[in-house]
Structure 1
């Protein structure tokens, strides 16, 4: 493995000024203290636990809400990969704005795009495009992620729906113009007892609608988390979203986008955290030399860089899968949410050591780190917990072991292309479950057979892991396919997520290599990425000490180069302000 050549005006995606680059120019240099979207302003708003109003006005002027509306409805949303790149420009600076300004509207809107009728989709598009907000009203503290137990009720009454119940910890509930409500419409147990409703606040009549006091939090302080209690409130019959009793199915379809989009945006948090740690290591002297000249520190930074690239590769591949082969995303989307959130949280924990005491300062040039670390923490449980994602994966494992693994061929090359072009997401094609194929693991098996050298050796290690998983999953008892599964079964879901991530990294690297892309076509990052993933599996890492040291040296040199050239640390290596 050799060090990557300098980047010469490009990344591994096609040239041209992307939407993300345009928004970056609008938002400006985050290290500029006079910038309303700069870290100094972000920290001041965080100390007040309030929204950054000036930054929100900037996003209003830009029209960020158009990113949440499909192109066919007059917006700019086409594919999830491009959407995430645009939204990362916000999340890199302030995750509170990323979530609180609009991603909560995207979460609500996906349900409408997936199952709403023509009028509902058109009205939601108009609402968002004129700067309004929608809130996703699912959560009840008594039931957490088990929304099948939700008690909030909607009952048919004289040509309308009568709403009763309480919802808590909802983003933007007070300032939302419309609510996507998840409600029980049948007292019988089972998957047909809940429905979803698109409720414009202005359509609520009668009874009482009471907003609950704000919930405060240690992370995402600037996000207004509230609640609502409705008592005998009436809404029109046409507020029903999709078919009665299909609320859970609609949720499972929409989750395939949101479970990928949330951790994918959080990659931007770690990009800034790693940038701050590297800057601190270059600035600080210890034991008579720069901190970054200490071998252990260089190793930590290189490994975190590899983890960031792993997370980005996995998110990008599954984002494309939503357009290319959406029948497989009921499983892979949950695998992304489970694994990537853990990778990113661990990465921030590792680079905290490079910053030392500076990692806890709430002001100054590195004060942004402690805020970002707190804001990242909910990635492991927000929207859907990691355990809930494992439960989603579990019932698919025996079926995939019987029908897909080592039977399905490789995924289409489109899944790994480094150009941004991909077919728009077809919301109607999203399935609630029942995945029977796995061409991503088919790519892993194919590459294990054809790749020479070190990448081939690593690919064969993960193919062997897939073979071991197949043997174990074929014998899983029915009791291990539910929430009551054994710890061993939960671990199988985690191991499978690591195998899928390895396949995504190998596929993306092989395509970049064939395209002649700088750095991302080199072996250093993919070998370190797979070595790090293998460390999470039985048997541990795969590289020898010398192989690991050589790869980490190349990674660190690339990290320095990107810092000097002001480029992102993700697979795009796109130039950014500041």
Structure 2
């Protein structure tokens, strides 16, 4: 039995009102603004924390794409569990794997495998995503000692974590070498030294224990530092390549359930003697939302695998994933809400789960790093990538687009703070030359649209001035970064479809979905919404309905789920 199958079996059918781990119980916990206790006990028994620990240290962490697949199942049932139980420890742990020494690796593995939680203590409200201005301090004390002073207002699991990874100022000098990350275990602190701040009220993720911490000259051993003094920014930028890729990809589980709710509603509601799902406009929205999920998953899964296979180049890709995937998921849920109508905002009843998922998805657009901050990370890299990669096609590394193939271990030591080249976008040019006989004219035309857009992007990127790349520069430059992410996404969709030609007869090998995907993405280039023609919407909706009836996930992996569609009366 696969890990995902085992986890889904433990969750059971979420639509069954008698299921103690189903939607009804999840909604009840949300109404109380509590973490879903029964769900946490199940995840304790499942040992979810082992998914964040490399196999060399006794855990189950092999590939980032596999971790996403497991965590997507948790987010599918309850995003609060996904973040509050699991992803918060994942965010903290990758910094230790990327920057810590062997003893710190072993200690973190022991904590996680023992069922403990680790908090990532980064943000300060006064500075937001600008970590270079963080004020929380770690000053020298007695020999072999640091004194911690400051406050962090927004920390997931501030109270119930056993250890913290704290982004701290260790120098007043300007520049990127003024901060150090600290791996601090709470039971090593003097009694009463750590004060907890109240939780902020929030509309989404209401069960997640968000709070803050405050300390004043709290002593810790100098050995808590991760890496050399002043290395915090470098470690964070390397770690972001996993978290900015992983977290948005995990939240697609919530979109899966939102889409499932809309399909269920369309089958259930009858208008003028026919199911709502029989209306062409409704089928069109459902088909487009399904394509949006596939688009987001193409980019996210490809980049997750690239972290293993192309680690020197994934910095820009991770920021693109955060920008594209979170935005696409939020927009798709909003459109699905139009299908459900009034049911989309009711907090109880069979479809009450939809409004919770919509609220919980919203933080995916700004939590951990705002989407515009991700574009600001992409923008300065464009001229270099344009010079090095966008003029000629490039073949894909073996196994990049085959999610069935095993990956080498995560190469934390090879991750870079800026991308050296851009092979994924360059693969668009190679894909355009490799279109097989029988490729439809619309797909060929769309491919030409994106290769032409890449050429225009190259010209514009090479013309950017230094002032355009700085914060506060020309807003049109950020639009250039956004257009780049659209072309990059199109490249991953087209190349995944080409890779699937070796498995003819499968849905992912069919032209319908990739043509629809590029059509949707082309609309983002010119701001024109293009409804899917019936020739595309029909087979795509048929695949969606077939997966729904068979209890299969809507993403690339189409795992077997325990959901049982209700029989129509």
- TM-score, normalising length from structure 1? 0.94
SS in structure 2 of the partner of residue 536 of structure 1: helix
> Structure 1 539/59 Cα, relative in aligned 2: closer, same or farther at 3 Å?
closer
**Using the alignment, how far apart are the partners of 2:548 and 2:447 within structure 1?**
31
Q: CA deviation at 1:389?
A: 0.4
TM superposition outliers: structure 1 runs of 4+ over 4 Å = none
Aligned ranges for residues 372-451 of structure 1 at < 5 Å?
372-407=357-392, 409-433=394-418, 435-451=419-435
Q: What secondary structure, in the 3-state scheme, does the structure 1 residue paired with 2:199 have?
A: strand
**Larger CA deviation: 516-525 vs 454-463:** 454-463
Query: Structure 1: 5+ residue runs without aligned partners?
Result: 1-16
In structure 2, the residue matched to 1:29 is: 13
Show CA shifts across 1:447-486 (max 9, x none). 1123143333222211111100001111111112122122
For the pair 1:347 / 2:332, whether they are aligned, the reply is: yes
State the 1:206 CA deviation: 7.3
Distance, in Å, in 2 between the alignment partners of 1:246 and 1:478 is: 26
Q: Is the 8 A contact 1:559 1:569 kept in 2?
A: yes
Give distance in 1, aligned partners of 2:206 and 2:455: 45
**1:244-265 CA-partner distances (Å, limit 9, x unpaired):** 1010110000000000111101
Correspondence for 2:232 among 234, 243, 247: 247
Q: Deviations over 1:106-162 (max 9, x none)?
A: 100000000100000000000000000100000100111111110001112112011
The equivalent of 1:106 in structure 2 is: 90
* Structure 2: segments with no counterpart, 5+ residues: 564-569
- Change in CA separation of 1:457 and 1:514 when aligned onto 2, cut-off 3 Å: farther
Give the whole-Å Cα distance in 1 for the aligned partners of 2:505 and 2:361: 31
1:506 corresponds in structure 2 to 494
Maintained 8 Å contact 1:418/1:511: no
SS at match of 1:135: strand
Say if 2:511 is the partner of 1:527: no
1:93 pairs, out of 59, 72, 77, with 77
Does the CA-based 8 Å contact 1:411-1:442 persist in structure 2?
A: no
Q: Give the 5 Å matches for 1:74-223.
A: 74-158=58-142, 159-205=144-190, 208-223=193-208
Q: Note if 1:484 corresponds to 2:456.
A: no
Is residue 2:459 matched to residue 1:471?
A: yes
Is the partner of 1:182 in helix, strand or coil? strand
Which of 303, 307, 327 is matched with 2:312 structurally? 327
Provide the residue aligned with 2:566 in structure 1: none
Q: Which residue of 2 aligns with 1:6?
A: none
Equivalent-residue separation in structure 1 for 2:504 and 2:33 (angstroms): 47
Task: Measure the CA separation in 1 of the matches of 2:378 and 2:395.
Answer: 21
RMSD: 1.4
Matched residue, 1:11: none
Q: Deviations over 1:368-414 (max 9, x none)?
A: 00000000001110101101100110110011111211236222131
Contact 2:307-2:314 at 8 Å conserved across structures: yes
Matches of 1:192 and 1:205, distance apart in 2: 29
Summarize deviations over 1:221-276 as a string: whole Å, max 9, x none: 00010000010101001000111101011000000000011110111111000000
Q: TM-score, normalised by structure 2?
A: 0.96
Q: 1:437 & 1:144 partners in 2: Cα distance?
A: 29
Query: Is 1:559 matched up with 2:544?
Result: yes
How many residue pairs end up in the alignment? 558
- 2:234, 2:374 → 1: CA distance? 16
Q: 1:493 is matched with which residue?
A: 481
Q: Does the CA-based 8 Å contact 1:400-1:438 persist in structure 2?
A: yes
Whether the 8 Å CA contact 1:206–1:234 is kept in 2: the answer is no
Report Cα offsets for 1:465-522 as digits up to 9, x if no partner.
1100001111111112122122111111111111111111111111112222511110
In 2, the alpha carbon distance for the partners of 1:518 and 1:320 equals: 21
C-alpha separation between the residues in 2 aligned to 1:472 and 1:349?
33
Distance of 1:552 and 1:301 partners within structure 2 = 9
Query: What aligned pairs does 1:173-322 form with structure 2 within 5 A after superposition?
Result: 173-205=158-190, 208-322=193-307
CA distance in 1, matches of 2:403, 2:320: 22
CA distance in 2, matches of 1:206, 1:348: 46
CA distance in structure 2 between the partners assigned to 1:141 and 1:517 by the alignment: 52
Q: Displacement, 1:207?
A: 7.5
Stretch of structure 1 that moved more, 507-516 or 449-458? 449-458
Aligned residues of 2:399 and 2:405 also touching (Cα < 8 A):
no
CA distance in 2, matches of 1:132, 1:39: 26
Contact 1:317 1:504 (C-alpha < 8 Å) held by counterparts: yes
Q: Of the two structures, which has the highest relative contact order with CA contacts closer than 8 Å and spacing of 6 or more?
A: 1
1:85-108 Cα offsets, whole Å, 9 max, x none, are: 111111000000000012100100
Q: How many angstroms apart in 2 are the aligned matches of 1:58 and 1:359?
A: 29
